[in-house]
Structure 1
Amino acid sequence: MDLVTPDVGLLFWTFISFAILFFVLRKFAWKPILGTVNDREQSIKDALASAENAKKEMENLTADNERILKEARAEREMMIKEARDLKTKMISDAKEEAKITADSMIVQAQEAIENEKKSAMADLKSQVASLSVEIAEKVVKDELSNKDRQLKIVEDMLGEATLN
């Protein structure tokens, strides 16, 4: 028997053994192995799809976060601007109110000064008039105490008076 040349019987039984093994494997092992491989392939595809969806969701969340941050910054800037405008307006209003109050106080003070001046002038006129009456009274009393002088004054007055 030559080891290099195969025997036909050996080839036949090897082929039959292989066919039986192939049939048994196909009948009992091939379907479960292929099912497991297919299930594994499907789970890998599902995991990849899930990862892709998660990636897209993360991108959407990142974009939403950026948008929300931009909106928050814009709102903060707007609030700061409004606060500055309000501060400026309040200061301006306070200055204007203070100016109006000061002007009002100045007008009141000027009126009070004018009233005091008028009162002082009236009082001064009253004192001058009273003093003038006293002086005139004393002068007239002195003038009228002498009879000769009285007659002379009356004659002078009559001489000065002209009849119309």
Structure 2
Amino acid sequence: MWKDFKRKIQQERKDQGEKPLAKRTFHQIRNALNMCLRTAEDKEWIDKVPEFREPRGSNKVTAGRAWFEPKEQTRLLKALDENIEELEKTRHHQSAKGLRDYVQFMLFSGLRVGESRNVEFRDVDIVFTKTKPGEPTANTKRALLIKNIVGKRGCSL
């Protein structure tokens, strides 16, 4: 019902040579209409407020996140190591080492740039996980547990 209404309004505006209404405008119209209908329901002028829900998601096909293949990761880290060696006797040496650590952290954690920028020391714990019996290593493995990730897709705890 709501989708048909929006389509009809946009077509009428197009036929009249006017520019289409913005998404935000339709949102405001829907909210105002809902407020009026809830008032009518409270005053018992209507039995029930009709649903005006937008379908969830979008019709756009989004590309998956880009990632580096293992060979590309190795090549990138090697180039960063070479950069560190080139800058060894300069004032940029520490920055080059920090950049390499940052890139390595992002590669191995899978975080986006914005998410990794927001990580603080208090958000990271070292956890010990038990390995399967019979594995050649000791009975525990170390891993980083990153909490409170705030990024593009919301917050993850």
For normalisation by structure 2, the TM-score amounts to 0.15
Bigger helix share: 1
Structure ID, larger Rg: 1
Q: Higher relative CO (CA 8 A, sep ≥ 6), structure 1 or 2?
A: 2
